[in-house]
Amino acid sequence: MENRIEHLFRYEYSKIVAALVSKFSAALIDEIEDSVQESLLKGMQIWQYKDLPDNPSGWLYKTSYNKIIDTIRRNKRSTEFDYDIDIPDNQVDADDFITSGIKDQQLKMIFACCHPLLESTEQIMLSLKLLCGFSLKEIGSALLKNDEAVKKAISRAKKKFKNEIGYPEIPNENELNERLDAVLTVIYLLFNEGYKATDGEKLIKKDVCFEAIRLAELLTDHDTFHTAELDALIALMYYNAARFNARIDAEGILATLDKQDRTKWNKGQIELAGSYLQRASKSELISRYHIEAAIASIYSNSKYDEIDWGLVLKMYDLLIQIDSSPVVKLNRIVAMSKVVGPVKADHELDNLKEESAIEFHYLFYTIKADLQSQLGQISEALKNLQKAISLTSNKVEIEFLKRKIIELHSIEK
């Protein structure tokens, strides 16, 4: 199959849903989704036998449009259907789709799915459903949630979507910054969800990451949204995506930065990340995305034993002022241990334990064990690795920790 139609169905799904919501209102989202799903099904059945038409997008749009009109017409006779929607007289033509402002409609849909009335998990799920065309099952495996939980969350989110969104719009100037922040946060969380190392379903997780990048790049088409923060976020995502294939080693075990096979890094994506970061750096403003991208760029552009840990630590000191969450603090301690040595870092780790509930995090015990093993306290380190294992259910992480235990045992002997 030619490249131009790679992901054709997925992308058309989101484009056509966005176009029809713009035309007929968010209140009809269920009916619209059904229509698009049906026309994709029809397209699939025909194109199994025949070559794709010249304009498959237009064909799918026309077919979906006609189906939704049929549905509205049928439902208008029912008393339960109380939407006041005019049925346009004119039929659409396949070529109408190209000219009908798809990009704007998609951007509006992004803002609608990331609407502040929706909770964070709802924003993520709706984005995956409506902007990325994922099925409930795919969303479940991407977010490691069971089908029932996904179904419930989606239907709750859709209820709000139907009642509150109406016709999606680009936010006005007063709220634009805030709304754009929310969109970037959703994209950032989406990417992180996809990037979490898990066993099985690796493909779908990778897809989530690249969908997050795609949505972010859609925003760059519009000058108003093309902020330095957005550039920094895209840089961050590309830096991490570039290392995707190296994160799991040949035996299927998580490989930390020092152990990754660098020939598996995607050089093109690292370069792309670099150019986004360069553009992002022209602004005076420094966001968390800037800092995280800068850290990722240090990792990506120097050999492991040439990493400037002092600089990394400085970046973490900055990041902590924006986000003082335990995970950031823990990562800062790792950088710190490279600069000032394990004793001081271990002391800092104990301080951190005093001030927050961080000890429940598996990462805490992993780092603790690492520092202890550097200090020759092997038996304590082994105990903490066991504790870390008891605090995660992620199989990839468990395997990773088990391997560390084996390594430590061999040092002990």
Positions that interact with other proteins (CB under 8 A): 1, 5, 7-10, 12-13, 37, 40-41, 44-50, 133-135, 137-138, 207
Nearer to other proteins, 14 or 287 (CB): 14
CB of 111 to other proteins, least distance (A): 22
> In this complex, which beta carbon is closest to other proteins, that of residue 91 or of residue 135?
135
Query: How far is Cα 247 from Cα 113, in angstroms, rounded to an integer?
Result: 31
Residue number, 68 or 401, with CB nearest to other proteins: 68
To 10 degrees, what angle do helices 378-390 and 362-374 make? 170
State in angstroms the smallest separation of the CB of 110 from other proteins. Answer: 18
* Closest CB 36 distance from other proteins, rounded Å: 8
Q: In the Cβ-directed half-sphere of 326, how many Cα atoms lie within 13 Å? A: 18
Nearest CB to other proteins, comparing residues 73 and 262: 73
CB of 411 to other proteins, least distance (A): 46
DSSP state of 130: I
Residue 224: count of CB within 10 angstroms of its CB: 12
Q: Closer CB to other proteins, residue 207 or residue 397?
A: 207
Rounded to whole angstroms, the Cα distance separating 126 from 161 reads 9
Backbone angle region of 302, left / alpha / beta, with phi > 0 → left and psi within -120 to 50 → alpha: beta
Minimum gap (Å) between residue 38 Cβ and other proteins: 8
Chain-centroid distance, C-alpha 73: 38
Q: Are 280 and 231 in contact (CB under 8 A)?
A: yes
**How far apart are CB 64 and other proteins at their closest, in Å?**
12
In the bound state with other proteins, the residue whose beta carbon lies nearer, of 5 and 358, is 5
Minimum Å gap between C-beta 10 and other proteins is 5
Nearest distance from C-beta of residue 234 to other proteins, angstroms: 23
Question: Could you tell me the smallest distance in angstroms from the CB atom of residue 352 to other proteins?
Answer: 42
Q: Which residue, 120 or 135, has its beta carbon nearer to other proteins?
A: 135
Where are the alpha helices (H) located in 201-341, listed in sequence order?
Answer: 202-220, 228-242, 267-280, 288-301, 309-322, 326-340
What does the alpha-carbon distance between residue 273 and residue 236 come to, in Å, rounded to a whole number?
A: 7
- Measured from the CB atom, the residue of 135 and 390 that comes closer to other proteins is 135
User: What's the per-residue H, E or C state across 241-264?
Assistant: HHCHHHCECCCCCECCHHHCCHHH
Q: Which is nearer to other proteins, 102 or 293 (CB)?
A: 102
> Closest Cα partner for 267 from 231, 232, 301, 303?
301
CA distance 215 to 110: 8
Instruction: Rank residues 124 and 286 by Cβ distance to other proteins and give the closer one.
Output: 124
Burial string for 78-89 (b: 16+ CB within 10 Å, else e) reads eeeeeeebeeee
Closest contact distance (angstroms) between CB of 5 and other proteins is: 8
Burial class (CB in 10 A: 0-12, 13-18, 19+), 227: buried
Residue 285 neighbours by CB distance under 10 Å: 10
